[in-house]
Structure 1
């Protein structure tokens, strides 16, 4: 099993933890941001992390691994590779609705593992789960590299992460960084 220390070592080498003033996808603000996409520029780190996550679901008989774009694209591929199965991703259409595109197919009854790099509120994961269910897939679990939800993530299926990281966040109306006049930047993939 991959240790917390090893995950943090990988994060340090890949320069994942950013400090400043950030607007999170949820709309909340934070003085720290985990840019896990930086891990995926190093194939050896992606392989190590995703193989460790796959191991946590090896007894679940997974048919396909699905990740929400953008953070879950490489992760779905690497996790699926470790599980010797298919890897797909869901993405937003022009209207902003999460959907399965590009000729990808989930057959009714297929057992699906949903993966995401960082889970904070779990919004993208929940959207991916709805797409899969609408197509008749059976979501058997959710996995992430980082759980930022303070243990509050509940998807109605087993959930596992490689590491829990507490990063303080603020409502924008009560953000101390905003009160200091520091502008917030939005480093995530969602507009």
Structure 2
């Protein structure tokens, strides 16, 4: 079920930035119906009652540009032309491409495997000569995707930042010693597949990665 109520979107996605800056993004989440309620299996394995379909949110260029402008202003991103924005070839690339355009930097992406998880193979662009690498993700859930991208980024430079639209859980303040800077905290619960209240209630399970 798509949730189109801005108040519900605001309850489930808590801004980590100024409310005034977050307001147009909350409206965007509601108007696009990108926040879903049901029973979802995340790419990293856990189950959740809510899912943010970032591809629905940011596939339009003007929406991705709005998200990027808010991120640049709110998080103080001003890396310069010798920076590269790195992402995986999945929904997070909408965010990365828009960020690169806004800050005037280069862009690179890594290939994904059959499970849509990032590999450590640069498939597009290059990190050669990068003074700074900004790792851009849509939603950080366990940190596994961020970790794979960090390995690639750190092979190019020591100056690395991790930026996400949202993160699921306060335990994701950092990944491998690098702070995770995000616009929102997702407030919904992660369930282990072996102890999932939604499974026990008989709700049909939808693989989240198929929605992006």
Q: Secondary structure of the residue that 2:65 maps to in structure 1?
A: helix
Q: How large is the Cα RMSD of the aligned pairs?
A: 2.4
After superposition, residues 1-191 of structure 1 pair within 5 angstroms as 3-55=21-73, 56-61=75-80, 63-93=83-113, 98-102=119-123, 104-107=125-128, 110-134=131-155, 136-155=156-175, 156-188=177-209
**Structure 2: distance between partners of 1:104 and 1:42:** 22
**Structure 2: distance between partners of 1:172 and 1:57:** 38
Gaps of 5+ in 1: none
Provide the TM-score with structure 2 as the length reference: 0.79
- 1:147–1:163: 8 Å Cα contact kept in structure 2? yes
Q: Secondary structure of the residue that 1:138 maps to in structure 2?
A: coil
**Structure 2: distance between partners of 1:157 and 1:145:** 16
- 1:71–1:117: 8 Å Cα contact kept in structure 2? yes
- 1:114–1:143: 8 Å Cα contact kept in structure 2? yes
Question: 1 or 2, which has the higher helix percentage?
Answer: 2
Question: 1 or 2, which has the higher strand percentage?
Answer: 2
Provide the TM-score with structure 1 as the length reference: 0.86
Relative to structure 1, the CA distance from residue 92 to residue 173 in structure 2 (aligned partners, 3 Å threshold; closer, same or farther) is same
Shift of 1:138: 3.1
Give the number of equivalent residue pairs: 189
Relative to structure 1, the CA distance from residue 115 to residue 170 in structure 2 (aligned partners, 3 Å threshold; closer, same or farther) is same
Q: Secondary structure of the residue that 2:122 maps to in structure 1?
A: coil
- 1:23–1:186: 8 Å Cα contact kept in structure 2? yes
Gaps of 5+ in 2: 1-17
Relative to structure 1, the CA distance from residue 53 to residue 189 in structure 2 (aligned partners, 3 Å threshold; closer, same or farther) is farther
Q: Secondary structure of the residue that 1:137 maps to in structure 2?
A: coil
Shift of 1:146: 1.1
